[in-house]
Amino acid sequence: MSHNIKELKQQFLEYIEIEKGRALKTVENYDHYLTRFIDHSKLKNAEDITDDVIREFRLWLNRQASGRNRGESEVGGTLKKKTQNYYLISLRAFLKYLAKRNVKALSPEHIELAKVGERHLNLISTDELKRLLEAPKGDELKALRDKAILELLFSTGLRVSELCSLPRDIDLHGDELSVRGKGDKVRVVFISEEAKRAVKRYLDKRVDMGDSLFAKVAGDDRKINEDTGLTSRSIERIIKHYAIKAGISKKVTPHVIRHCFATDLLSNGADLRSVQMLLGHANIGTTQIYTHITDSELKRVHKQFHNKSK
φ, ψ of residue 207 in degrees (nearest 5): -125, 5
Given the residues 58, 182, 201, 205, select the one marked as catalytic.
182
- pLDDT score at 286: 80
Residue from 142, 145, 159, 259 carrying the catalytic annotation? 159
159 labelled catalytic: yes
pTM over 0.75: no
Catalytic: 32?
no
Instruction: Encode the chain (310 residues) as per-residue pLDDT tens digits.
Output: 458 999 999 999 999 999 888 878 889 999 999 999 999 999 999 999 999 999 999 999 888 754 444 334 444 456 788 889 999 999 999 999 999 999 999 999 999 887 766 566 678 889 999 999 999 999 999 999 999 999 999 999 999 999 999 999 998 888 888 888 877 788 889 999 999 999 999 999 988 888 899 998 876 666 676 667 899 999 999 999 999 999 999 999 999 999 999 988 888 888 888 989 999 888 887 888 777 655 555 566 666 676 665 5
What is the rounded CA–CA span in Å between residue 190 and residue 157? 9
- Report the CATH fold assignment for 126-295: hpI Integrase; Chain A (1.10.443)
Active site (annotated) includes residue 258? yes
Task: Let me know if the fold of 5-110 is the same as that of 126-295.
Answer: no
For residue 110, indicate whether it is catalytic: no
The domain spans of the chain are: 5-110, 126-295
**Residues 9, 22, 206, 281: which is the catalytic one?**
281
Catalytic-role residue among 142, 196, 258, 259: 258
Q: The domain at 5-110 falls in which architecture?
A: Orthogonal Bundle (1.10)
Give the pLDDT of residue 296: 58
**Are 257 and 236 in contact, with CB atoms under 8 Å apart?**
no
